[in-house]
Structure 1
Amino acid sequence: MLKISEFAKLAHTTRRTLLFYDEKGIFSPSIIEDNGYRYYDADQIYQFEIISGLRQLGLSLQEIQQLLNSSPHEYDSYMKIYQTKIQDEIKRLKLLNELLTLKSTTAEHDTDLSTEEVTEIYCDKQEYWCTDLKVDCTPDEIARIYTQFMDNLGEFIHQIPSQSGFITHLSLSHYTKYMTSEFRFIKETVPFEPHNVVTKIEKPAGRYIAIKVHTSEKGIMDGLEKLTNFSKEHQLLTHNYLRQLNAQNTLISNGSSRDQILMYQIKEK
């Protein structure tokens, strides 16, 4: 027979843990003498290893107690269910690790564009998830549309810092109608499946005229005016879609960051 201190040393545990397990009815000494001395049978080490292993798997004391009192068939069935839970948790943790890696390696989308100065740039093809077309929405309605969009993408994709913003059906010649034009929320696609089915659109590769502006009605309208003047000065024709891309990952109001990049694709002659 082993004293409690001897058994604790053999089982690589503590006296306190053994007392606690006894109090909870999980694991008790073979003998408790009238003077309170506790003695364990050497063979009890095997049962303690089972309990210790189940604890390391994350099972609660209540679950362990139920398992110890179950039949072999019930024990095996429960462990298969628990194995599935562990596999699901591993998947979740892998996704979380990938998300943290993306967040630590992805820079803000604030390019080298100068604020308030029109620049001609070349862009590669990009694919975006998008909402349905909307028009003339209040801030409350915009918030609801944005929230539904993120819910459809799922919490994981929502947290990935991919490029986001808007695409607005608006020709440069009618830029003064910006506030009442149809728009969609957009978010750059990533190699993960969204929670629900979400429409995709494409930004074609090609030349664009772009300007970085402060996200306010005045900032956007001034930027659109400068894009219009630039296209006239350089005799450029543009497609009838305004792309507003958030320059920073942190969104402040109406699904927008502090600054935005306004872009129009140039029609090639």
Structure 2
Amino acid sequence: MLNKNIKFFTTGEFAKLCKVNKQTLIYYDQIGLLSPIMKDNKDYRYYSIAQYDFFSVIELLKALGMSLKEIQQYMADKSPENFLELMRQQKEIVTKKRRELEMIETIIDVKIESTAEALYLDFDSISIEHFPEETLYLSKNIEDSTEELFVKAVSDFIDELDRSQLDTGYPIGGITKREQVLAGNYDNYCFLYMEQPQPREGHPYFKAIEGEFIIGYHVGPSTTLGETYERLFNVMQDKGYMLGQYVYEEYIYDAVIKNREEEYVTKIMMELVKDIKP
């Protein structure tokens, strides 16, 4: 018999309180996870307000990725000590997820900013600008790699960025040595890189040299890169510069934004040194 001085909830009322359907409560009862506090002689189920907190903890643990089986295992050995340890473990998980979400938010912000800026770029322009020193995270040396090894190097670099949480949202670029560019081997990169505006301790970095750079944009597939490089060399010579140690390339528009390779845009940044003639 129900105690008239205590408020009990029918399955429907309790389901509404918990914002789930009745079948969820019936299923929890069937698997022994959350059973009604009592049943009357007509087999009607009744829940108490105290069981709401119990239900809330189940939903909390589910939201944190625990399976119903794992939750059942905890419920089979409940104690204040075990609950405290469980909550501490879940807090660590939440802290890790929050860091991951903050990193994703940062990546999204970078993508928004760089794409918005690209909308106003004149891809026919060539300019000479002073670059401050930048910190880059590099791949292993890939100079003179075969196509197969290059594909693997890209895959390994992406995995490394993800594993070390060094994906900053900036495009993956390629660095080419001076001698390769002068020989016309524009895509014989020595390293892949990603910019690191806030370098994290414990990782080796490369400092891009501060100085003058000539900047241009190549529209189209990589097979026609030479045409843009020739334009850059002509302007460089007219301005009294020679090619410095490295050339940096990175996509402005790639397959994420454009469907056709003919519409891809590559930003080319070439280190400059003054041509001191005798």
How does the TM-score come out when normalised to structure 1?
A: 0.74
Give the residue type in structure 2 aligned to 1:184.
Answer: F
Does 2:59 correspond to 1:56?
yes
Q: Structure 1 residues 215, 4: CA separation in 2 closer, same or farther (over 3 Å shift)?
A: same
Contact map agreement 1:3 1:38 (CA 8 A) in 2: no
Aligned to 1:264: 270
Aligned partner of residue 136 in structure 1, secondary structure: coil
Contact map agreement 1:109 1:246 (CA 8 A) in 2: no
Distance in 1 separating the partners of 2:12 and 2:223: 77
Q: Structure 1 residues 132, 3: CA separation in 2 closer, same or farther (over 3 Å shift)?
A: closer
Aligned partner of residue 135 in structure 2, secondary structure: strand
Give the residue type in structure 2 aligned to 1:53.
Answer: S
Which structure ranks higher in relative contact order (CA pairs < 8 Å, sequence separation ≥ 6)?
Answer: 1
Aligned to 1:32: 40
Q: 2:211 aligns with which of 200, 206, 209?
A: 206
Q: Structure 1 residues 96, 233: CA separation in 2 closer, same or farther (over 3 Å shift)?
A: closer
Q: Which range is displaced more, 7-16 or 258-267?
A: 7-16
Aligned partner of residue 190 in structure 2, secondary structure: strand
Contact map agreement 2:138 2:206 (CA 8 A) in 1: yes
Residue 249 of structure 1 and its aligned partner are, at CA, apart by 5.8
Residue 218 of structure 1 and its aligned partner are, at CA, apart by 4.7
Q: Which range is displaced more, 8-17 or 148-157?
A: 8-17
Cα RMSD over matched residues? Answer: 3.6
Contact map agreement 1:11 1:49 (CA 8 A) in 2: no
Residue 109 of structure 1 and its aligned partner are, at CA, apart by 6.9
Aligned to 1:99: 107
Does 2:256 correspond to 1:225?
no
Aligned partner of residue 137 in structure 1, secondary structure: coil
Contact map agreement 1:136 1:179 (CA 8 A) in 2: no
Residue 38 of structure 1 and its aligned partner are, at CA, apart by 4.1
Contact map agreement 1:8 1:15 (CA 8 A) in 2: no
Unaligned segments of structure 1, at least 5 residues: none
The alignment of Structure 1 onto Structure 2 pairs a total of residues equal to 255
Unaligned segments of structure 2, at least 5 residues: none
1:35-54 Cα shifts (integer Å, max 9, x gaps):
334456xxx432x1332221
Distance in 1 separating the partners of 2:87 and 2:238: 73
Aligned to 2:137: 129
1:140-183 Cα shifts (integer Å, max 9, x gaps):
2211111111222226543x4314322211259x7234258562
Q: 2:246 aligns with which of 229, 241, 245?
A: 241
Distance in 1 separating the partners of 2:21 and 2:173: 60
Aligned partner of residue 246 in structure 1, secondary structure: strand
Contact map agreement 2:142 2:191 (CA 8 A) in 1: yes
Distance in 2 separating the partners of 1:32 and 1:76: 35
